Amino acid sequence: MTDEKFMREALRIARNAEGCTSPNPLVGAVIVKDGKIIAEGWHRQAGTPHAEIHALNMAGDLSRGATLYVTLEPCSHFGRTPPCTQAIINAGISRVVAAMSDPNPKVAGHGFELLRAAGIAVEVGLLEAEARRLNEVFLKWITRRLPFVTMKFACTLDGKIATVAGESQWISSEESRRFTHHLRDINDAILVGVGTVLADNPSLTTRLVEGKNPVRVIVDSNARTPLESKVVADKSARTIVAVTANAPPDKVRALKLRGVEVITAGNFERVDLTALMHALAEREITSVLVEGGGTIHFSMLRARLVDKVLAFIAPKLIGGSRALSAVGGEGFAKLSDAVELNDITTTTLGADILISGYVKEA
């Protein structure tokens, strides 16, 4: 039980850097001696010292004979920083308890091998499920070369995201909107269809004082994104427009001249969303927040690219057979084709209910 307590502390502090370490994982480290925590550390940003190094530096000579609790296998290779395994060995740590191994092919058990070869006792697997959930973004990106995709929408109790006249501000509560900006802060990119840009001209930025703006990704088969739209003109964040090979060359060229990165994904009428996700992953975009509208939501679900759904349900009823729904498009003809969620959690944000769930694998 004592080991579990210290590992939970390592998992807790790892989240201090949520949204800041991409494309690296979130990692927390705790050093314990004589049953007491003597040092803690967490990875803060890619290219900076890892969690273990921060903790070892804090502990100093007290590390000798101590136990290190770490949420992920210590690295064993030279990347942007030196390997942590050698620092652990040099510090005289006698025991390492890790939540899980690192699936990165550059590590993948080699870190544990080096520690054991140096005479350090190594135990692996404590609170592994929690550690995997902590790093669900990194694990998908490093193993499948795809970003972790979260689909988020706010709708009324009858599933509408706008009135029949197109009014949508504000369906959700102030608390829900604040949480949405937190989501933008912790995700690498935010994705919408060009219909949202044409209808609302959104900035797609983070309103938090110390928040970072995500990369803005616009799915726009025919390069219809207006040059005067905020996502092109305001320069407050990097913008990517995804088009097909059939997009008018003059419009593509005009976007590029405005500093927009254009990705060609697909040779037909619609952007190949799977190809787009692979292209984003190649650019070290490890997480994508999909914010609509209904057509792009359905397209992402149909392509089985969504990992997690966040639905903000407002206690309002607006009706209207022509009012836009949270998930539109063609829809699934059979219930057996419907996307199912599991691991459901619910919470309240102001008057709203937030339902969160993971897409069940087909």
Q: Which residues are known catalytic residues? A: 52
Burial 184-203 (b: 16+ CB within 10 A, else e): bbbbbbbbbbbbbbeebebe
Largest interatomic CA distance in the chain: 70
Q: CA–CA separation, 355 vs 311, rounded Å?
A: 5
Omega before residue 293 within 30° of 0, cis? yes
CA atoms within 13 A on the CB side of 210: 3
Strand 352-359 and strand 308-314: the pairing is antiparallel
Residues 191 and 288: beta-carbon distance below 8 Å:
yes
Q: CA–CA separation, 221 vs 247, rounded Å?
A: 6
Residue 89 falls in which region: left (phi positive, over 0), alpha (psi -120 to 50) or beta? alpha
Secondary structure (DSSP) of 139-207: HHHHHHS--EEEEEEEEETTSBSS-TT---TTSS-HHHHHHHHHHHHHSSEEEEEHHHHHHH-------
